[in-house]
Structure 1
């Protein structure tokens, strides 16, 4: 009886091992795209791929399940160098954000036959490097430093097109562009000189404007004085013309209080000879 139990246990264990060997199970959640690939045929199932979701049972001897995430992937690549016109080397330390386009998992597998980490480290890295290299070679060293936004916009445009062709959606990338220290020092010195020149030009322009304001004020005051003097002279001239002897005598009489002067003036006892009644 004991031997019978032993053989029964061995049989059950054999069934369990056989079932695990012959039946595989995988779960594809909503954040992944699953594809069931056949191992049969000379092309290893590249043309026999089925998109699958949820719980999937399969025979590991004849097929397997590959899963690609469809949420945002962030890949921080090791730094590399690219050359601008003339051969000046710039360091790029890129970080790429992208995701798999829904429904493209089968095409990605047919094209590369690799898991996503392998695709990132080889295929996508080459695409990123070539994009930076091609665009950098269209810029001079100075323009590359002073026009980083334009440089990165052109790189992103190339990446977006290349990734779409491979079944991926480009989101964004940070370049961390770093020029050579010697070039950066030269550019900083040039920018400082330009800023100093602009500051001096602004200062000269301000001083010139102040001088012109002062001249304008002085000219205005001088003209005002001339006008005032001319007006006063004109008034005096008019007064001289209107002050006739008769008018002066009438004004004197109008102001006389009737008292005779006590001081004799010459041979006359009065200043004005009055007519006798």
Structure 2
């Protein structure tokens, strides 16, 4: 074999090797591969198929696009939305989502963009519109004091809008920030309400304590009245039972047998009560 033939074969093998390297790739389980045709009248619109594993393709007529199917976290640039009445609120959202398996071809067919481009344009618009529409239905005070309800409505809109585009919503952090002047007014209002509640509680507590003291004093007074009435009643009954006969019997029971005496002219004389006829 001549040197020329060796060179030709070497070039051919090298060319085939380069073609082989550039015409195969692999799609792992955490991604969804999409084989897109470069030729034909539709140029990739209809000639799209989902592929997995090792893929062989002609780089001159087709290419492989890959979309991850695991959770994606996108921290969007802050933007402002208007509440009812025109007050502006700052939103600094962070979205967690993922591509629904089997929807990669539809996503590419609809947008023909790589995922970073879809996030920075399509998904950002979806997020912004969801916050804008919901915020416009809230008054400034209710938006601040009912953030849970506000975010629940936003999440509902995002879940539907992302689902329509082949993505699954997981969660979002709003980082809602009201204007400083509004926040100061709301803080002052909340402080006044808390002070009023504390004062009402204090008044109610003192009133309850006073009522307890009055009840206690009334109870003591009534107890004394009842005790005095009982003692008076007892004395009354006792007086009624002290008849002359009973007194004489009690005197006899206590007599020691000696008659009382008195001094008359230096002598002692016994006092004897003579019966009166």
Same fold (TM over 0.5): yes
**1:5 matched to which residue of 2?**
3
Once the two structures are TM-superposed, the CA of residue 17 in structure 1 deviates from its matched residue by: 3.5
- Helix, strand or coil for the counterpart of 2:261? coil
C-alpha change, 1:173 and 1:263, in structure 2 (3 Å) is: farther
CA distance in 2, matches of 1:255, 1:108: 123
C-alpha offsets along residues 109-129 of structure 1, whole Å, 9 cap, x if unaligned?
A: 110011111100100000000
CA distance in 2, matches of 1:238, 1:181: 84
CA distance in 2, matches of 1:107, 1:270: 140
C-alpha offsets along residues 32-54 of structure 1, whole Å, 9 cap, x if unaligned?
A: 00111111122212111121111
CA contact (8 A) 2:261 2:271 kept: no
Counterparts of 1:131-146 in structure 2, within 5 Å, are: 131-146=130-145
CA contact (8 A) 2:83 2:135 kept: yes
CA distance in 1, matches of 2:272, 2:29: 130
**1:99 matched to which residue of 2?**
98
**1:227 matched to which residue of 2?**
226
CA distance in 2, matches of 1:273, 1:199: 88
C-alpha change, 1:64 and 1:260, in structure 2 (3 Å) is: same
CA distance in 2, matches of 1:75, 1:254: 112
Report the number of matched residues.
271
- Is structure 2 residue 261 aligned with structure 1 residue 262? yes
C-alpha change, 1:127 and 1:253, in structure 2 (3 Å) is: same
CA contact (8 A) 1:264 1:270 kept: no
Provide the aligned C-alpha RMSD in A: 2.1
TM-score (ref. length: structure 2): 0.92
CA distance in 2, matches of 1:10, 1:84: 74
Once the two structures are TM-superposed, the CA of residue 149 in structure 1 deviates from its matched residue by: 0.6
Deviation beyond 4 Å, 4+ runs, structure 1: 271-275
